[in-house]
Amino acid sequence: MNTAMKAGLRPDLAVIADNVAASSSVLDVGCGDGTLMQALRDGSGCATRGMEIDALNVGACVAKGLSVIQGDADTDLSFYPDKSVDYAILSQTLQTTMRPDVVLEQLLRIGRKAFVSFPNFAHWRVRTSLLWNGRMPVTRLLPIAWYETPNIHHLTINDFRGLLKERGIAVEGQWFLSGDAQCSAAAANFRAEHAVFLLARPD
């Protein structure tokens, strides 16, 4: 098991931690309680900072000695300078934003590269739930009922790939997760529960 997995990171965060260059600068947008930031700081010597909308999570980050401000990805990313960090990270947050396309453009303006992870709403279990039950699914990885979920954009891997092609965004890496394990890219839109992409603007 790799170092990131040993640290107890969520699977998509472990993928990101394993692929961020040591000693790089990182902005984690929607950083939660700072688990990824702490792993990158302590395990890879990265200079980390974060933005988080939830005040309790901001407090948890500060208690860990992390540099985090309270802010909203939809409105506050415009205050960051161009290319001010090596990596901008958005994990399991894209589907909760009002304008995912605008947030994605901001990540690639702020960071030289961007990591984005999100749940795949075309996974076979989601499709099966809709087909047989006619209801929005509640699963281990999507545990919140439709009326209280923060997920307002139910994107799929193919949707995201289409957006990247439309905007001319380069994919430097992609990883797909089924449960807690990585799976192949073959039929990922059907088989993968989560996806992680490493993105950049072509020179």
pLDDT value, residue 7: 58
- Averaged pLDDT for residues 72-99: 95
Contact between 146 and 136 under an 8 Å Cβ cutoff? The reply is yes
Could you tell me the sign of the dihedral formed by the alpha carbons of 172, 178, 184, 189, in that order?
negative
In the predicted structure, residue 3 carries a pLDDT above the cut 70: no
Q: What is the largest CA-CA distance in the chain?
A: 49
Better pLDDT: 5 or 71 = 71
pTM here is 0.90
Residue type present at position 134: G
pLDDT, one tens digit per residue, over 100-153 is: 999 999 999 999 999 999 999 888 788 888 778 787 777 766 777 777 777 777
